Structure 1
Amino acid sequence: MNTTGQQRKFNKIILLILEIILLFYAITLIYPFVWMLINSLKSNKEFFQDIWSLPEQWAWKNYADAWESARIGRFFFNSIWMTAVGTFTSVMSAAMPAYVLAKYKFKGSNAVYGLAIVGFLIPSIGTFGPWYMLMQQLSLFNPAGVLIGYTGGIGFYMLVLYSFFKGISWEYAEAAFMDGAGHFRVFFSIMLPLVRGGLVAVATFALIGIWNDYFQPLILLQSEHQYTIAVGLSYLVEAQKYSADYTVLFAAMWIAVLPILLVYMVMQEKLINGFTMGGIKG
């Protein structure tokens, strides 16, 4: 009995130590955002006097300057529509092959699934040369090229949704076929609603990735009017090296990061549950 009590006490101590370590780690992740928020509300003079102090007067004007003068507003709306379209197309281009591979048996289906697995072994930097040449030959150095790049189809999203479709009974489809429904009707009206959890998880993951994407828009967007917020921020950082208006830069960064923080805070439970359920079903 004493041994059991000592073991429990030891486990509690270990658990407490781990909680303290994780709490400290969480603070190190949160603190940069808090520091950036505080300094985004200072005047430039206050910032250079003391980067650690609270602002004497809350300079909300910095956010208006970032939105208009720094053109973050334009980049923001570019990211909004490209993220919306890119998320929809990336999810649908993954859901369709996932459904076909999970529910239809045909020659080469295992090879296609294997190809998706092998794709994870190829470093993305290794495909940069052929990808660049392809975009150049197809004249896709524009928003259309960026959006096409998000419709990978066979990849991580497909594998996640594949496991969801695998866990659905085919009897639902058979009943629909008996009522005269076609393959497209079964897919859109029956199967997709049944994997709603997986769709939400994949869509959230895609939304965050597309909003934060820097590489493809940097390479393919040729006009400043087309820049997304990730690319626009990089140019703003370069500009602030000469103007030294860092408080406006911090405000612009907060405008860029706030939507993703809100999306993740709202969707984190569904995101985690979606991937967990998919893994269990698979």
Structure 2
Amino acid sequence: MTIKHKSPAKIVLLGIIQILFMLYALSLIYPFIWMFINSLKSNTEFFQNIWSLPKEWLWENYMKAWSSAHIGQYFFNSVWMTAIGTCTSVMFAAMPAYVLAKYKFKGSNVIYGLAIVGFLIPTIGTFGPWYLLMQNLDLFNPLGVMLGYTGGIGFNMIILYSFFKGISWEYAEAAFMDGAGHFRVFVSIMLPLARGGIVAVSTFAVIGIWNDYFQPFILLQNESQYTIAVGLANLVEIQKYSANYTVLFAAMWIAVLPVLVAYLLLQEKLISGFTMGGIKG
């Protein structure tokens, strides 16, 4: 058995690639650090030197952003909308995914094909009919936003379809013999077995709904109902005239922090979940 040694050229090439990846990572992290540093300055100090460290760390900028800029209200609006939207989007995707993966009936392949074709239709192409539908149903409110997250045939369904496809049907047959019904098998057996996929799509849904700007911007007419994404955009417009950018940076950090924490805590499950789903499918 011979041990292969890497040639000096390959070692140099790998080193260059690692350095490039490190520089790319720093380019992604640095804007967050810069925003955090400037969120702790006074407005005068910010305009004097945007690259220096704060002479006095003004943590009250976060309190001003939370209360005076109404970020606290927008934050809690996003929390409950994200929680409800994630539950409904995942469950409404899990149910058709399970049925299509485990039950064969006429038209099942057509439904799955439509889910794939749906990715080819640009979102802007459906904006007109969607807007008229919401207007006719009088859904320019949080309920309309919530309904927008309940679409069962989409990205989440395709990922969960792969997971359910890889689960042995013998578990369901054993449960049927014990007297369990179809819904009981789905809730008590199949969902727990597809836990990796559920966690992955839930994490993706949380990040997507929390950052969603389009639907809340169109459907929420009352400022008190704004989500944090819409509220931040509104705050940016206000700061164009008042130029209180340090409070704006503090508000941005409040908005982005939950997403960063969620991703850091769940990144391994997110990546492994999508990988396992792709292998099973």
- TM-score (normalizing by structure 2): 0.98
User: How far apart are 1:152 and its partner, in Å?
Assistant: 1.3
2: CA distance between counterparts of 1:171 and 1:91?
A: 25
Distance 1:91 1:126 in 2: 24
CA distance 1:5–1:199, change in 2 (3 Å): closer
- CA distance in 2 between counterparts of 1:210 and 1:93 reads 15
Following the alignment from structure 2 to structure 1, what is the Cα–Cα distance between the partners of residues 5 and 93? Answer: 52
Q: CA deviation at 1:11?
A: 1.8
Distance in 1 of aligned mates of 2:9 and 2:268 = 31
Equivalent position of 2:256 in the other structure = 257
Task: Name the residue aligned to 1:50.
Answer: 49
**Which residue is 2:66 aligned to?**
67
Q: What RMSD over aligned residues (CA atoms) do the two structures have, in Å?
A: 1.0
Structure 1 residue 6: Cα displacement: 7.8
Question: Deviation at 1:8?
Answer: 2.9
Q: What is the identity, as a one-letter code, of the residue corresponding to 2:110?
A: A
Query: What is aligned with 1:108?
Result: 107
* Separation of aligned partners in 2, 1:86 and 1:45: 41
Structure 2 residue 155 is matched with structure 1 residue 156: yes
Instruction: Report the equivalent of 1:144.
Output: 143
Residue 132 (structure 2) pairs with residue 133 (structure 1)? yes
Code of the aligned partner of 2:239: Q
* Aligned partner letter, 1:38: I
Unpaired runs of 5+ residues, structure 1, are none
Paired AA for residue 143 in structure 1 = P
Aligned equivalent of 2:199 = 200
Quote the residue 2:23 is aligned against: 24
Write the distance in 2 (CA, Å) between the matches of 1:5 and 1:166. Answer: 41
Q: List per-residue Cα deviations over 1:170-195 (Å, max 9, x = no partner).
A: 00000000000001100000000000
Q: Give a deviation string over 1:130-182, Cα, whole Å, max 9, x none.
A: 00000001111000100110111001100000000000000000000000000
CA shift, 1:7, in A, is 5.2
Q: Distance in 1 between matches of 2:5 and 2:104?
A: 57
SS in 1 for 2:7: helix
- Spell out the pairing of 1:177-192 with structure 2 (5 A cutoff): 177-192=176-191
Question: What's the secondary structure of 1:120's corresponding residue?
Answer: helix
Paired position in structure 1 for 2:94: 95
Q: Separation in 1 of the partners of 2:21 and 2:253? A: 25
Q: Identity over aligned residues, as a percent?
A: 75
Amino acid at match of 1:65: K
Question: 1:12-44, CA deviations, whole angstroms, 9 ceiling, x for partnerless residues?
Answer: 211111110010001110000000000000001
Q: Distance in 2 between matches of 1:36 and 1:210?
A: 23
Distance in 2, Cα, partners of 1:96 & 1:10? 53
Q: Following TM superposition, where does structure 1 have runs of at least 4 consecutive aligned residues deviating by more than 3 angstroms? A: 4-7
- Deviations 1:222-253 (Å, cap 9, x if unpaired)? 10010000000001000001111100000000
Counterpart-to-counterpart distance in 1, 2:40 and 2:161 = 47
Check if 1:172 corresponds to 2:162.
no
Question: Take 2:175 and 2:7, find their aligned partners in 1: how far apart are those partners?
Answer: 56
1:9 deviates by 2.3
User: CA, structure 1 residues 87+9, in 2 after alignment: closer, same or farther (shift >3 Å)?
Assistant: same
